[in-house]
Amino acid sequence: MHNFNSNTENKAEWLTPPYVVEALGEFDLDPCAPEEHKAPWSLAAHNFSVADDGLHQRWEGRVWCNPPYGRETFKWLSKLSRHGNGIALIFARTETKGFHEVVFKQADAVFFFEGRLKFYHVDGTQGDSANAPSCLVAYGRPNVDSIEHSNLKGHLVRI
């Protein structure tokens, strides 16, 4: 089993299960995309990889954000909150200060997945279940509606 918190396999990139984004509709930007041509699929029309430093780029349109997990996560969500149009996929660490500040106080809704997601390796193979539950964080009412109509299994909580 992969430990996504301590990164025991020394992997920096884990890919979003494609069905998650497919259920939510089209995105204009993924500021946390794998390096170009490294992943078997793209989740948005435009992508920034780690080499592009997506956190410090200008964001436009509807954003999909599966940020680096750990201390940096809430910097990405803070930028997404200011942008006001997008959905982030993060661990449902509801007890953290960052979750309270950037999700509960700034987001429009949180969707808690039923069960645990299985992320993918950059070669397209599926990994084991994550060691923590995941959630989607929506900024902007159209993104809340997108989650509500997605048929993903879980529970949507409007804030």
Q: What is the pLDDT of residues 43-52, one digit of tens each?
A: 999 999 989 9
Q: Decide if pLDDT at 10 tops 90.
A: no
Q: Can you give the pTM of this predicted structure?
A: 0.91
How high is the pLDDT of residue 122? 85
pLDDT one-digit tens code per residue, 86-141: 999 999 999 999 999 999 999 999 999 999 999 998 888 999 999 999 999 999 99
**Under 8 Å between Cβ of 109 and 154:** no
Q: How much is the CA Rg of the chain, to the nearest whole Å?
A: 14
pLDDT one-digit tens code per residue, 65-97: 999 988 899 999 999 999 999 999 999 999 999
